[in-house]
């Protein structure tokens, strides 16, 4: 469409000039027709073709050699380096997700067991809460909710480690949850042993 518009615009002035020449010089046309021999000498000849014909191309092409030899020996060729690995964000595998949920439930259960054993030991007068952050909650049932904060934090850290950019963190993603659950279980066992 654009090409057609360009051709139309550039062809319009040429046709307008020829129309003017024909209308204003009727006498010149009669003079040219009377002298046909001079007309052929003043008009330019048709341009020669710039594109070679198939026969000319075939004649100018040399025949192909029977066997093409490589320019360089294979030993001198440089090996192609592998492409750069995709550096997208890592993702967790289904196995990691299942283990993360299992460790989340284990951490929450261990924290509940710790809260129960702590409340039992404190209510019977065999000890006090050793964690200063949980000490204000140790004489009420709010202790059960307060002890769940630590497993939630460890779950969050573990989840972030599964998709970390650092390979060492991705391999050790299970450590925060495991350590949190272990500390809660060991504290609960200690509290149970204190109470006869």
Q: Is the pTM higher than 0.85?
A: no
**Residue 54's pLDDT is what?**
78
Position with higher pLDDT, 184 vs 59 = 184
Domain spans of the chain?
A: 99-194
Neighbours of 134 (CB within 10 A): 18
CB-based contacts of 155, cutoff 8 Å, min separation 6:
100, 103, 104, 107, 177
**Residue 94's pLDDT is what?**
92
For residue range 111-137, what is the model confidence (pLDDT) as tens digits?
999 999 999 999 998 888 888 899 999
């Amino acid at each position: 469409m654009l090409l057609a518009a360009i051709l139309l615009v550039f062809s319009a002035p040429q046709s307008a000039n020829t129309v003017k020449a024909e209308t204003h010089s009727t006498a010149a046309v009669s003079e040219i027709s009377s002298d046909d021999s001079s007309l052929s000498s003043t008009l330019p000849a048709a341009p020669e073709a710039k594109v070679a014909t198939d026969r000319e191309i075939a004649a100018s092409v040399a025949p192909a050699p029977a066997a093409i030899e490589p320019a360089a020996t294979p030993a001198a060729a440089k090996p192609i380096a592998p492409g750069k690995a995709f550096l997208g964000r890592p993702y967790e595998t289904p196995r990691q997700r299942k283990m993360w949920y299992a460790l989340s439930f284990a951490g929450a259960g261990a924290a509940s067991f710790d809260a129960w054993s702590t409340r039992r030991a404190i209510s019977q007068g065999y000890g006090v809460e050793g964690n200063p952050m949980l000490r204000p909650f140790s004489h009420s049932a709010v202790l059960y909710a307060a002890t769940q904060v630590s497993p939630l934090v460890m779950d969050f850290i573990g989840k972030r480690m599964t998709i970390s950019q650092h390979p060492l963190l991705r391999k050790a993603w299970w450590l925060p949850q495991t350590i949190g659950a272990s500390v809660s279980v060991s504290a609960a066992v200690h509290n149970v042993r204190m109470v006869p």
